[in-house]
Structure 1
Amino acid sequence: MLFRYAPGRSGAFAQQFLDGFGGSFLQCDAYDGYDVDRPQEPWTLVHCWRHLRRRFVKLVRNNKSPIAEAAVRHIAQLYAIEAMARGSPPDVRLAARKEHSQPMVAVLKLWFEKQLSMISSGSALAEDIRYALNHWQGLSRFLEDGRLELDTTPVENVT
């Protein structure tokens, strides 16, 4: 894990930082600067569930949205599974994810799609659901490798 500070959010900072990066995975929020247009990227993007969760928490606080509250509860279930598997070897974590998290993630995606079809397309809730669905592949990557984290919190909390 590595955390690097840049004085801005320009994609140029991300490109400069990632130049020569040969790792397998790049776990981050869904910041577009990391999704640079380079041929044959050597990494696979892994997106952060905590960044997604924060969007729905904000809607719960500001709008008392029952749909956002339900989304937070769904995501909390994924964190509960991660808490049980924490500290286990990657193969054990992956097995727990395949058995417990993968079905929840599939249900959550269908639920998001259903909610999106029933709400105003211009609402903040619709925007946050579209954010989730547009980054679903990266959000789901933790289901493919037990070394990956559900979110970027471990590296963000390193002092």
Structure 2
Amino acid sequence: DRVPPHEFSRTLEVNVTGQWLCAAAAFRRMASQAPTGGRIITNGSIAARVPRAHASAYAVSKHATTGITRSLALDGRPLGITATQLDIGNASTGLLAEFTARPRGNGTAGEEAPAAGDAPPEPTFDVAHVARMVAAVADLPATTSVPELVITATGMPYDGRG
């Protein structure tokens, strides 16, 4: 892959270590309260299921999110703590705008990166729909668990994306 090691490390630091630290703090609080229990919702991505070309660091970090979420659910089960991974695909945010504005590839090893406009734009959807999904999961009774949810723009490439 063409990802420089420092970018790979930074992606893991933010997406894995950051998410784990937040989830661990929430877990400790939920485990120590009376009664125990609660719901943790992690920020996954469809990259945890189907990676995008030239985005290995991001895909690895989101696969790690799956491990974090499933471990939280397993460890939390006896305490009434549930965990949900929300896999989002192309919600319209500033981060997505930044990604789609960059050329794909990085032009290293004598290869030119394609122009940003060479690939057809992928459909997006309003990030408010993600907020509605988070609120719906958070509003469920403690007797209900939702291990994972996927939300994408209609028409977005899912299998064979890239």
Which one has a larger percent strand, Structure 1 or Structure 2? 2
Which one has a larger percent helix, Structure 1 or Structure 2? 1
TM over 0.5: no
Greater C-alpha Rg: 2
Report the TM-score, using the length of structure 2 for normalisation: 0.31
Report the TM-score, using the length of structure 1 for normalisation: 0.31
